[in-house]
Structure 1
Amino acid sequence: MASRRRPAATARAPELARFSRAALPPLWRPGSVALAALMALGAHAQTAGDLRYYVQPSISVSQTLTDNGGLDKDGQAEAITQVTPAVRVSARGQRVQGSIDYALNGVVYARESDRSTIQNRLSLNSSGGLELVENHLYLDASAQASQQLTTAFGQQTPGGLPGGDTTQVYTYTLSPYLVGRLGSVANLTARVTHSQTITPDASRFGATTDSAQLALNSGSSFSRLGWALVATRSVSDYDASRRTEADSVLGTLSYRVTPEFVVRASAGADWNDYRTVDKTRYDRYGVGFDWRPTVRTTLSAQVDDRYFGTGYNVTFQHRTPRTVWTLRASRDASEINGRGNAAVATVFDLLYAQFASIEPDPLKREQLVLAFLQANGIAPGTLVFTNVLFGAASLQETQSLSFALLGRRTTVTVTLTNSRTSRLDTLATGIGDDFANTDFVRQQGVSVNLAHRLSAVSSASLALSQQRNEGELDTQRTRQRTVTLTWTTQTGRRSSLSLAARHVSFDSDTRPYTENALVGTFSYRFN
């Protein structure tokens, strides 16, 4: 077998190598080992023709000692054991792009054994993913399995533990699409999409959406002036509500003022039955621009006059050698699955963008980020705020600001979010979600994570977070504050141990609680 090769990122960033080398698995190992064998043998990136893939199985055992296992006003001590086998698979090639992160979390309560359960956590993303017919037919796919709130005003739980007003949610999307060229005049894309949300314990939030899209855009014969024409049709069927339809036609003209600056204007029409029994036509207009003054700075903005009022989408990102800033703001219809989502970037997302200047290769960069997070005792999904489920199409307005500072021994990440969600389908009734008693749901969150390397094998981190949810009524207000202090050490090349102290305060008119806990976790990678 060929000898292992050290990743190129190590040579370019010696300061990263010092704290990543122990945790970073090998990046290359030529050969054609089958995926099943990789699962058993550990985490390696393989080359099979142009395909490179990386598989990392792992397992963790966690023991929580808490003074409030039932999350009651008058708490009772509890011991909670969690066993979590997991696997992460990433693939990069000319015909395959994607990653899968799956974990099966078994939770056992010592006293209240009836609360013991099994949770599935899944994240699959293959955007731009599978090339079925070379240069013509592709398939995008995504899937999620997670715990989400059934009401923004319900009880939230600490550390991803079961209970409160949460339920297991499964979502998946399959989207095959065909691309082609009409000479040098136009490019053609035809796409169909099937998306489904499944909530076994809260079926009123289930939904299925099917859509089709046909797009034409300017070909290579056009230089500075570009154009696009897009027609879309979607049908959504909500388990506890009604079937809705939405169609749209949109034409766009763009002009490249400079290689870095593009302006555009659009016009078209929407047809939908969100506010009327039969579909009604609404005209739409918009303007926007894309600006990339440097390779590390991007700014994109779009403003539209839509059937629901003014819609907009603004994204700004700027990177320096040691920081990354991301600003996002949008107001748009959530026509698929009707879900409210206060989540923005995770720690992994922030550092993945930050490490672009260190390691341009996506597969190597992903492994480098995961190794860095493990070496510094930071969970990849630290910045995710809790999702809220809604039972019909909704209107969502969100703003978020994320910041990451990568020091030689200290890493700081900060995220602020604000969102306001209201019912878009005004004819939907009797669903039993939050909009039965309020016209809007506002969510505000802030998360700060400070991690410091104490030595080559150990680190300490402090995580502070607060999330506030509120509606129209005074009784529709909740606030959760969490403080977690964690010490992590590498006990071997493949294993690590962490000890954490946690304090949670949840304020609510109906089910307030405070909780203090000590959590010990042992993790092992099969590589």
Structure 2
Amino acid sequence: MAWGQSEERTAERRIFSIQPLLSISGTATDSLSTPQTGAKDRALIGVISPGLSLRSYNGAFRGSLDYSMDGLVYLRTSQRDRVQHHLTSQATVNLLDGRFLIDVRATLGQQARSAFSAEQSVSSNLGNANQAQLANLMVAPRLRGIVASVASYEFSATAVESRVKNSIIGDGRSGQVAAGFEGLGGAHRLINWNLSANAQRTSGNGQARSVATDSVLAGIRLRPNPDLNLNLQAGKERSNYMTLNQVTASTYGLVLAWAPTERTTLNADWRRHHYGNSHSLGFSHRMARSSWRYADSQMVNSPGAVGASGRLTNYALYDSIFTALEPDPVKRDLLVRTYLQNNGLNPDALGNSGFLSGAATMTRMQTGAASLLGVRSTATVTLSQGKTRRLDPFSSVVDDLSGGGLLLQRSGAFTFSHRLSPASAVSLTVSEQRSSNVTTSQATDLKSLLASWNGRINPYLSYSANLRHARFNSAQRSYQENAVTLTLTQQFQ
């Protein structure tokens, strides 16, 4: 951890940092594509990935950006060379002494088009027709303050845009404006009141209908003890998710936040809607060297990626563990990322890859995860299940749900890592993902095994060696793939 601590001290002295990096990797695979004949398509893949990492610790502008561009060169195969992009960024601009804030989120990456395609890959470098480049952008300004020393207010607007390259399935956009008022004291008073109004408009590609939802709610907030907060709300809403014209109906709900200890939290939100009830439940508990989390949510999804977000990640689990060690979120971010890198752990989620939908859907996602931190070893387990049905009966968009029924996706992963020395570690990940639709009799099953050796040659030069085995089964096609990948990454200061 010496290098990580050195990097942390450097970050403390900076309010803004830029770190370019360059990664070069080579992969030998015995199944680049999956031809109908079942024959092996052996190939070599060379990848050159220049990247950039930005961090801002300034009080008025705090955020991060990680970008890389992969140039893929294919040898001993007819597949054409290509370029793919990866971007993860988030930022918050704090103006007018915290009264006006602007949140910005942007992502760019690879996404599975269909959960039932016969061309499923365990790696985005194994290009296939089922793989698409998905871009997401969210901008949300907020204005908050106090009215006549009686109530606090917050006005907000949110714009979200999703775009899929070379496809109209998955394109979506939404806009939302909201206003909220609450008696001064907020959640710290024994009894308080609140009012809220919301208007949202969503749409997809040319074949998808535009959907409008509006709501007005009044609520009473209760705080029977310092650890428990309750918010009872009721009002009216109107929407056209399941009808051609907007339908007005009553709605009500309960929001609960309970934190019996500094290490345990429980958050719940249940709401009644005429088109289907929604809920969210989140539980987390951390111990000295472990983290346990469970999440259960049911909500409406706009056109775009379904089932690929909201999953628990290695980063989230270890961020919870290190909260007691480093309360400052900026410093903890560096600490967590350094730890994951030194132990050969991928910070991203180990859940299902989801699919693209061109219409409004109702999805229930359940995810459980646990992480155990030893002196030199770590173990992480994630389990997830997603159930999705189409909500809009009038949509003519052709996707995985156009035939009706319930799409069920289940996935599980287990990762064990062991640090060989302060500069190297080995890890093993076993994962499986299953997708099925009883109505259409479609089903796929993808199993994978990944063994990795990661290390650092010096504080800025790292390496990794991976061995991978994957098995895919479906009614249309089945295949096995074996691959070895060597990667060298140079960071520049």
What's the TM-score once normalised by structure 1's chain length?
Answer: 0.88
Q: Tell me if the contact between 2:311 and 2:349 (Cα under 8 Å) persists in the aligned partners.
A: no
Residues 322 and 481 (structure 1), Cα distance of their counterparts in 2 relative to 1, 3 Å cut:
same
1:98 matched to 2:75 = no
1:282 matched to 2:245 = no
Amino acid in the other structure paired with 1:446: G
Residue of structure 2 equivalent to 1:232: 198
CA distance in 2 between partners of 1:463 and 1:375 (Å): 16
Q: Tell me if the contact between 1:188 and 1:217 (Cα under 8 Å) persists in the aligned partners.
A: yes
Q: Give CA-to-partner distance per residue, 1:360-400, whole Å, 9 cap, x none.
A: 11111111111111111122215243131110111011110
Q: Tell me if the contact between 2:45 and 2:74 (Cα under 8 Å) persists in the aligned partners.
A: yes
| Partner residue of 1:396 out of 336, 342, 363 | 363
1:519 matched to 2:485 = yes
| Partner residue of 1:158 out of 108, 118, 122 | 122
Amino acid in the other structure paired with 1:69: L
SS at match of 2:7: coil
Q: Tell me if the contact between 1:143 and 1:171 (Cα under 8 Å) persists in the aligned partners.
A: yes
1:265 matched to 2:232 = yes
Shift, 1:412, TM fit:
0.9
CA distance in 1 between partners of 2:140 and 2:69 (Å): 26
Amino acid in the other structure paired with 2:298: R
1:123 matched to 2:104 = no
CA distance in 1 between partners of 2:64 and 2:236 (Å): 37
Residues 187 and 346 (structure 1), Cα distance of their counterparts in 2 relative to 1, 3 Å cut:
same
Residues 338 and 498 (structure 1), Cα distance of their counterparts in 2 relative to 1, 3 Å cut:
closer
Residue of structure 1 equivalent to 2:466: 500
Shift, 1:405, TM fit:
0.9
CA distance in 2 between partners of 1:284 and 1:219 (Å): 25
Shift, 1:260, TM fit:
0.5
Q: Tell me if the contact between 2:241 and 2:275 (Cα under 8 Å) persists in the aligned partners.
A: no
Q: Tell me if the contact between 1:480 and 1:504 (Cα under 8 Å) persists in the aligned partners.
A: yes
Shift, 1:314, TM fit:
0.7
Q: Tell me if the contact between 2:344 and 2:453 (Cα under 8 Å) persists in the aligned partners.
A: yes
Q: Give CA-to-partner distance per residue, 1:7-53, whole Å, 9 cap, x none.
A: xxxxxxxxxxxxx2235552345xxxxxxxxxxxxxx5554xxxx23
Residues 24 and 481 (structure 1), Cα distance of their counterparts in 2 relative to 1, 3 Å cut:
farther
| Partner residue of 1:438 out of 404, 417, 424 | 404
Mark the runs of 5 or more structure 1 residues left unpaired by the alignment: 1-19, 30-43
Residues 340 and 153 (structure 1), Cα distance of their counterparts in 2 relative to 1, 3 Å cut:
same
1:247 matched to 2:214 = yes
Identical aligned residues as a percent? 27
Q: Point out the more displaced range, 434-443 or 502-511.
A: 434-443
1:149 matched to 2:112 = yes
CA distance in 1 between partners of 2:391 and 2:217 (Å): 21
Residue of structure 1 equivalent to 2:2: 21
SS at match of 1:27: helix
Q: Tell me if the contact between 1:209 and 1:336 (Cα under 8 Å) persists in the aligned partners.
A: no
Residues 55 and 383 (structure 1), Cα distance of their counterparts in 2 relative to 1, 3 Å cut:
farther
Shift, 1:223, TM fit:
2.1
Shift, 1:113, TM fit:
5.0
Residues 56 and 397 (structure 1), Cα distance of their counterparts in 2 relative to 1, 3 Å cut:
same
| Partner residue of 2:165 out of 176, 200, 213 | 200
Q: Give CA-to-partner distance per residue, 1:195-243, whole Å, 9 cap, x none.
A: 1111121123211211111111221387211222111111112113122
CA distance in 2 between partners of 1:76 and 1:341 (Å): 29
Q: Spell out the pairing of 1:416-435 with structure 2 (5 A cutoff).
A: 416-429=383-396, 431-435=397-401
CA distance in 2 between partners of 1:271 and 1:335 (Å): 17
Shift, 1:474, TM fit:
6.1
Q: Tell me if the contact between 1:342 and 1:385 (Cα under 8 Å) persists in the aligned partners.
A: no
CA distance in 2 between partners of 1:215 and 1:243 (Å): 25
Q: Give the root-mean-square deviation of aligned CA atoms.
A: 1.9
Shift, 1:355, TM fit:
0.8
Q: Tell me if the contact between 1:485 and 1:501 (Cα under 8 Å) persists in the aligned partners.
A: yes
Q: Tell me if the contact between 1:156 and 1:164 (Cα under 8 Å) persists in the aligned partners.
A: no
| Partner residue of 1:190 out of 138, 147, 155 | 155
Residue of structure 2 equivalent to 1:370: 337
Shift, 1:521, TM fit:
0.9
Shift, 1:458, TM fit:
1.7
CA distance in 2 between partners of 1:103 and 1:338 (Å): 21
Residue of structure 2 equivalent to 1:17: none
Q: Tell me if the contact between 1:196 and 1:337 (Cα under 8 Å) persists in the aligned partners.
A: no
| Partner residue of 1:455 out of 421, 434, 437 | 421
Amino acid in the other structure paired with 1:136: R
| Partner residue of 2:434 out of 468, 482, 485 | 468
Residues 158 and 24 (structure 1), Cα distance of their counterparts in 2 relative to 1, 3 Å cut:
farther
What's the TM-score once normalised by structure 2's chain length?
Answer: 0.94
Q: Tell me if the contact between 1:271 and 1:280 (Cα under 8 Å) persists in the aligned partners.
A: yes
CA distance in 2 between partners of 1:110 and 1:517 (Å): 14
Residue of structure 2 equivalent to 1:328: 295
Residue of structure 2 equivalent to 1:10: none
Q: Tell me if the contact between 2:172 and 2:302 (Cα under 8 Å) persists in the aligned partners.
A: no
| Partner residue of 1:354 out of 310, 321, 342 | 321
SS at match of 2:120: coil
Q: Tell me if the contact between 1:173 and 1:196 (Cα under 8 Å) persists in the aligned partners.
A: yes
CA distance in 2 between partners of 1:242 and 1:309 (Å): 19
Q: Point out the more displaced range, 236-245 or 445-454.
A: 236-245
CA distance in 2 between partners of 1:315 and 1:168 (Å): 30
1:485 matched to 2:485 = no
Shift, 1:343, TM fit:
5.1
Residue of structure 2 equivalent to 1:40: none
CA distance in 2 between partners of 1:271 and 1:83 (Å): 51
Residues 177 and 337 (structure 1), Cα distance of their counterparts in 2 relative to 1, 3 Å cut:
farther
Mark the runs of 5 or more structure 2 residues left unpaired by the alignment: none
Amino acid in the other structure paired with 1:465: S
Residue of structure 1 equivalent to 2:134: 169
Alignment: residue pair count: 487
Residues 336 and 515 (structure 1), Cα distance of their counterparts in 2 relative to 1, 3 Å cut:
closer
| Partner residue of 2:40 out of 64, 71, 75 | 75
Shift, 1:502, TM fit:
0.5
SS at match of 2:401: helix
Residues 91 and 124 (structure 1), Cα distance of their counterparts in 2 relative to 1, 3 Å cut:
same
Shift, 1:303, TM fit:
2.1
CA distance in 2 between partners of 1:220 and 1:382 (Å): 38
Shift, 1:287, TM fit:
2.2
